[in-house]
């Protein structure tokens, strides 16, 4: 039992390592991912003694993540997205209410005066949810394009930091490959999603397509 538990923990450690590599690569192309889950992974020891290195990484990510603040239009889009998120949350509650009414009506335990709520509340709420999802995707795409354009106009900003991120990601890929080899694991279990492929020691499994913008790779062992 203890051996099985230890084996499961080892697997989680390597998966956390693949998530960190993806995180660093995302920031290289201005795709800003939340750091909360990685903070928890580091604090829980899933990456070993990594506190000092994580503090350096976090500093770099915060600096690069501040690039959108240079653009008033991006800040405006972010505020709009936050407003859409509030509407989405309200729509979710209303849809859940309407769905509950529908279930009660189906089992004939809903008061008659409440039965029409599904039509007048639930269905409009569903339309609102779909609309907010589409709007959020559109805004995210617009923000990404704005950030990309901003990055092109200011190529000198964070150039050194992005290079440092690449070097750290390369070190982590090397570390991951070494762990997989030493533990005689299947590299295919630890796939990594990347936007850049200028790393050594990786093998591309899937390339970007119509709906996917990233590569899927594994470590060469």
What is the per-residue pLDDT across 139-171, written as a single tens digit (0 to 9) for each? 988 888 888 788 777 777 778 889 999 999 999
Residue 72, pLDDT score: 84
Domain-located, residue 113: yes
Residue 88 confidence (pLDDT) above 90: yes
Look up the pTM and report it. 0.69
Residue 135 lies in domain? 73-153
Longest dimension (CA), the chain: 67
Question: In total, how many domains does the chain have?
Answer: 2
Query: Do residue 147 and residue 167 come from a single domain?
Result: no
Query: Do residue 118 and residue 137 come from a single domain?
Result: yes
Strands 215-219 and 202-206: antiparallel
Query: Do residue 171 and residue 149 come from a single domain?
Result: no
Rounded to whole angstroms, the Cα distance separating 81 from 91 reads 15
Task: Name the strands in the sheet holding 192-194, side by side, starting at the edge strand that comes first in the sequence.
Answer: 192-194, 215-219, 202-206
Domain-located, residue 88: yes
**Confidence category of residue 198, pLDDT binned at 50, 70, 90:** very high
Query: Do residue 88 and residue 142 come from a single domain?
Result: yes
Domain-located, residue 19: yes
C-alpha separations of 141 from 30, 112, 151, 199 in Å = 12, 45, 15, 26
Query: Do residue 116 and residue 59 come from a single domain?
Result: no
Using the CB atoms, write b or e for 16-39: b if 16+ within 10 Å. Answer: bbbbbbbbbbbbbbbbbbebeebe
Query: Do residue 100 and residue 135 come from a single domain?
Result: yes
């Amino acid at each position: 039992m203890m051996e099985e538990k230890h084996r499961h923990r080892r697997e989680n450690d390597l998966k956390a390592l693949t998530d960190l590599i993806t995180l660093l690569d995302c920031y290289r192309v201005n795709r800003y991912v939340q750091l909360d889950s990685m903070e928890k992974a580091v604090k829980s020891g899933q990456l070993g003694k990594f506190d000092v290195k994580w503090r350096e990484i976090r500093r770099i990510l915060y600096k690069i993540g501040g690039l959108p603040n240079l653009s008033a239009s991006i800040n405006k889009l972010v505020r709009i997205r936050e407003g859409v998120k509030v509407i989405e949350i309200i729509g979710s509650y209303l849809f859940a209410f309407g769905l509950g009414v529908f279930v009660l009506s189906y089992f004939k335990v809903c008061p008659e005066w409440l039965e029409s709520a599904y039509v007048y509340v639930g269905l409009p709420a569903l339309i609102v949810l779909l609309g907010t999802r589409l709007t959020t995707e559109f805004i995210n795409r617009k923000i990404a394009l704005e950030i990309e354009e901003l990055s092109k106009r200011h190529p000198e900003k964070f150039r050194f930091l992005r290079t440092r991120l690449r070097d750290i990601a390369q070190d982590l890929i090397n570390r991951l490959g070494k762990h997989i080899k030493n533990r005689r694991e299947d590299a295919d279990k630890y796939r990594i999603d990347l936007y850049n492929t200028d790393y050594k020691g990786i093998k591309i499994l899937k390339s970007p397509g119509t709906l996917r913008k990233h590569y899927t790779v594994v470590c060469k062992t």
